[in-house]
Each structure stands twice: as structure tokens, then as C-alpha cells.
Amino acid sequence: NYSPEGLGYSEQHSREAKANAIAAFVRHYLQRLLRKTSGNISLAARLCGKERSRLARLLKKHGLDRLSFAART
């Protein structure tokens, strides 16, 4: 039997692993988006098709600060 349970994985473990993988993907995507826009939230929101406020909440959730991606002068 090659089920996840047969390998010692529980359904809870599978859900946690999936949630962690999604969170890592989203965080990486947001980092690339902020680098591309030099931390400009309005431009980043337009590029990804989200409302600015929704994007700001996602950044906060993932512990990202737009200022760390802002262009240095």
C-alpha cells in the first residue's frame, strides 16, 4: 500500500505541508513582484490584478515590508 498513511503521514500532516508549500509560493511571488516594482504597491497591485488594500494585507500576512524593496537613491 503506497498511501500517505502507510508512510506515516496523517491527513493533518498533509494539510499542514500543503499550507506551508502554498505560503512559501505566495511569499516568493510577492517578493518577486515587489522587486519588479521597487516596492510600489499600487503598481504591484495592478500587475497582479488585486486591489491595493488586498495586496497590502497579503504583504502584512507574509511579513513583507515594501520599503525593503524600494529603490535606493
Q: What is the pLDDT of residues 4-57, one digit of tens each?
A: 556 666 888 899 999 999 999 999 999 999 999 999 999 999 999 999 999 999
Q: What's the predicted TM-score (pTM) here?
A: 0.79
Say what the pLDDT of residue 12 is: 85
Express each pLDDT in 47-73 by its tens digit: 999 999 999 999 999 999 999 999 876
Among residues 50, 21, 11, 18, the alpha carbon closest in space to that of 34 is found at 50
